[in-house]
Amino acid sequence: MRRIVHIDMDAFFAAVELRRHPELRGKPVVIGGHGDPTQRGVVSTASYEARKFGIRSAMPLRTAYRLCPQAVFLPVDHQEYEKVSATFKAILREISPVLEDAGIDEAFLDISEQAQSSEEIAQKIKSRIAAATGLTCSIGIAPNKLLAKLASDMQKPDGLTIIGEADIAKRIWPLPVGKLLGVGPKTEWRLHELGVKSIGDLAQVPCEILAEHFGQAHARYLYEASRGIDESPLITHWEPKSSGRQITFQKDVLDRQVLVNTIGQLAHELADDLQKLGNKARTVAMRVRFNDFDTRSRQQTLDEPVDSPEALTATALACLDRVDFEKPVRLIGLRVTGLRSPHREPRAKLASGRLAAA
């Protein structure tokens, strides 16, 4: 059984700001834009005290001000947050080298090979991160990424939630369907129209019905996700040229067609790389980074390995469909994993061939 940990820092940007403004502890604090609620800009995050007033990420700063005029507004300082992000990810890599960087304040860690109990590892992660950064995080541990991510969100701040397959009906099914990775506001709205409110409701809908509304690939994803099924591997690195390509746009992109075209281009380059090396890929992963550095990754594992630009494009576009675009995009990347070389003969066959010859 795999053991996957999802780590999500608590009120991340706000928590980093409170380190250098300790006098603001306990007060409603909102981080966003230039920190001036009379100017254009959206809320990046808010302290838990500010959330009590209904302030949420992505809300216009003006709305936040209306909800809580006494809140303290601070500008976004990405450089500082990236520094803290690098520090806590380095700590996680010491605990297990199998890490997927899932965004500025979150990561997945595979601890399947570790001898210690899940509780012990969680405590180690929390205390080391606290010692190095002074910050708290919430942790979910489960047999896969999908469930680990849901678990880390169940108790916040400073939580630890461990979920097993036996807990799915009792603890996962009552959750709102929008909590599922890959169900953004748009998909959630369409599911609500079908009368699907909870993850348990989704598990009642036959896959064929979902396919009529969401297309084959997304339907299969939703069908499996609602049952807590997720075999996707951790995406442990993005950079190697042979298996990943990404583009940072010179100007942020809002037009979906531009993203579709870019994905086509990246898929062709990747297919070229694969074919040159005689490789085929089973998993295609897509990553989008918005202009506020919020990052989303989606991936899909295929039954058969592929190396054609058409197959890579189709799979990447199915991943794109599972992201809701409310913000301008600054970067898009594609990556393939589960590489297989069709030229290599299976070991067993070689061995038996030799035996036969002897």
Instruction: Tell me how far CA of residue 200 lies from CA of 94, 144, 147, 162, in angstroms.
Output: 37, 18, 14, 19
Nearer residue to Mg ion within complex by CB, 12 or 223: 12
Closest separation in Å from C-beta 124 to Mg ion: 20
Q: Which of 77, 294, 321, 324 binds ligand TTP (CB under 6 A)?
A: 294
DSSP state of 22: G
Chosen from ligand TTP, Mg ion, none, partner binding at 230 (C-beta under 5 to 8 Å by type): none
In this structure, how many other beta carbons lie within 10 angstroms of the beta carbon of residue 341? 11
Is 8 a residue that touches Mg ion (CB under 5 A)? yes
Nearer residue to Mg ion within complex by CB, 31 or 320: 31
User: What crossing angle do the helices spanning 12-20 and 78-95 adopt, rounded to 10°?
Assistant: 110
Is 110 a residue that touches Mg ion (CB under 5 A)? no
Nearer residue to ligand TTP within complex by CB, 58 or 91: 58
Amino acid at 265: Q
Tell how strand 281-290 and strand 295-306 pair up: antiparallel
The strand pairing partners of 198, in sequence order, are: 176
Q: Which of 5, 6, 13, 287 binds ligand TTP (CB under 6 A)?
A: 13
User: What crossing angle do the helices spanning 207-214 and 216-226 adopt, rounded to 10°?
Assistant: 130
Handedness of CA 48, 37, 290, 179 (dihedral sign): positive
Q: Which of 49, 105, 273, 292 binds Mg ion (CB under 5 A)?
A: 105
Is 17 a residue that touches Mg ion (CB under 5 A)? no
Is 58 a residue that touches ligand TTP (CB under 6 A)? yes
- How many angstroms from the chain centroid is the CA of residue 6? 10
Is 295 a residue that touches ligand TTP (CB under 6 A)? no
Closest separation in Å from C-beta 30 to ligand TTP: 11
Contact 320, 260 (CB under 8 A): yes
End-to-end CA distance of the chain: 41
Closest separation in Å from C-beta 81 to Mg ion: 11
Chosen from ligand TTP, Mg ion, none, partner binding at 104 (C-beta under 5 to 8 Å by type): ligand TTP
Contact 13, 21 (CB under 8 A): no
Cα radius of gyration rounded to whole Å, the chain: 22
Tell me which of 82, 106, 165, 231 is the catalytic residue.
Answer: 106
Q: Which stretch binds ligand TTP (CB under 6 A): 10-18, 174-182, 213-221, 340-348?
A: 10-18
Known active-site residue 106:
yes
Chosen from Mg ion, ligand TTP, none, partner binding at 17 (C-beta under 5 to 8 Å by type): none
Is 36 a residue that touches ligand TTP (CB under 6 A)? no
Tell me if the bond preceding 157 is cis, omega within 30° of 0: yes
Q: Which of 44, 161, 198, 226 binds ligand TTP (CB under 6 A)?
A: 44
Closest separation in Å from C-beta 194 to ligand TTP: 26
In the chain the beta strands, taken as DSSP E runs, fall at 4-9, 29-32, 43-46, 72-74, 99-103, 106-110, 137-142, 160-162, 244-253, 281-290, 295-306, 329-337
**String marking each residue 91-110 x if it binds ligand TTP according to CB under 6 A:** -------------xx-----
Is 45 a residue that touches ligand TTP (CB under 6 A)? yes
Q: Which residues are catalytic?
A: 106
- Interaction site with Mg ion (CB under 5 A): 8-9, 12, 105
